[in-house]
Chain A
Amino acid sequence: MNSVPTAAPRKILSALFVGACALSVALALVPLAFIMFFVVSQGIQSLNLDFFIHDPRPVGEPGGGMRNAIVGTLMLTGLAAAIAVPIGVVSGVYLSEYRGTRFASAVRFAADTLNGVPSIVIGVFAYGVAVLPFRHFSMLAGGLALGIMMIPLIARTTEELLLLVPNALREGALALGATRAKAVMTVLVPAALPGIITGVVLALARVAGETAPLLFTSFGNPFLSTSLTQPVSSITVQVFTYAISPYEDWHRQAWAGALVLVSIVLICSVAARLATNRVARIRGH
């Protein structure tokens, strides 16, 4: 060959670039490993039965736990789901059924916008709408804030899933004389249901980990409360309160709370992944 061999600097640069990319991966995984390590090692120490069955005790007294917070988080996310699932799923149906219309585009734009709104701002909104008029913090206000955050997530995943359902199913239903409504509700939605449920689970995991919007809506409560109209504790707010306090014991409990949160997230993520894989395998992908 009559060509000049490739200059060394070019080759070195290329090798350096490849190395830098690999390094970036390592750099990102290091904090992940660190966080998981600390959360697990610190959290596990304080995770005992007391944690789950007792409410917080005054500092210094042993045996305090986060029962009220766990119950609170469960109820708050349940409330959020009650608000968000109907609105989110039905909106998703609209977005997929009437895809090309201007209204659908506007709704989609609104959903994406809402997705990007900082959670603290949503908390301020919920405060104005659900706390101020009644002059006290409540579980309802907290549930509302979380629900608002869930709606766009559920709407978009529902839309995408419905689009994945093969058109042949819809046509089959329509050909048998079903109205559009019937075709959608009895054929399409059930077909997409596993994915929709997965989407809801992931959205739940996401809002279960939110703190900011709860700070001045559900606020917090040192006692166990199941009342909709009273302030209620939540794992996230409790962890925050403990973390910024000066007490060692509370710090330990904060780590335990963090471990519970991360476990929830992990379990939901893995479950969601397995569910989508299973569905894909059943469909024969």
Chain B
Amino acid sequence: MISLANPTRFLNLVDRVVPWLSALVVIVLGIGLYLSLFVAPPDYQQGETVKIMFVHVPSAWLGMFGYILIAIAALGTLIWRHPLADVAAKTAAPIGATFTFIALVTGSLWGKPMWGTYWVWDARLTSMLILLLLYLGLIALWQAIDEPGRAGRAAAILGLVGAINIPIIKFSVDWWNTLHQPESIFRAGGPTIDPSLLTPLFVMAIGFTALFVLLHLIAMRAEILRRRVHALQQTQVERAALAEA
């Protein structure tokens, strides 16, 4: 970890890893999709639509995973002052938000045949929607503060506060849900996952996680390069100022 703190060494590592990781992602997701679509049996109740689960559940896991990553990166920024921590946090937020969004959309599509509507306010989906709002807040804060150092520290504080709040929010949403009788007993990916569905799910989860890591590394590389360009521009402007004097 310490040796990776050097951005140049990190960039070299990323350049070497990305091709292999891309191939891995394609292969694993390919196998996963094949297993999901052709090998796994359709559910006797939901038919083929149960297979949306193979995208929905891993996406939801990765939404959570992304936020945990941000929380750890936040500790890296605030406590250990690791130079790449805020880059990791900044780039993880949009990726985590996107996976959360995919989880919400696929959850909605999955539920439509069962519920008759595109959305119900059950505990799981509501919690995931609030997670999306937490992500959006982080992204908005990053956007709003120009100076990268301050933005990084502010977003780290917000990330930690959010992470601490997530269990509390989840608890309160579950409690809220029991107050009002839910209209359907449908539980997304509930306790009755048939073993025959587990293998494709597992493979898809690994594939998605690898995809997350791949996208994250690429995004971190882009962010580091972007900061370098900005620094170069500033140097050029200062040099121009000195040249005129």
Chains A and B come from one and the same complex? no
* A interface residues, Cβ below 8 angstroms from B: none
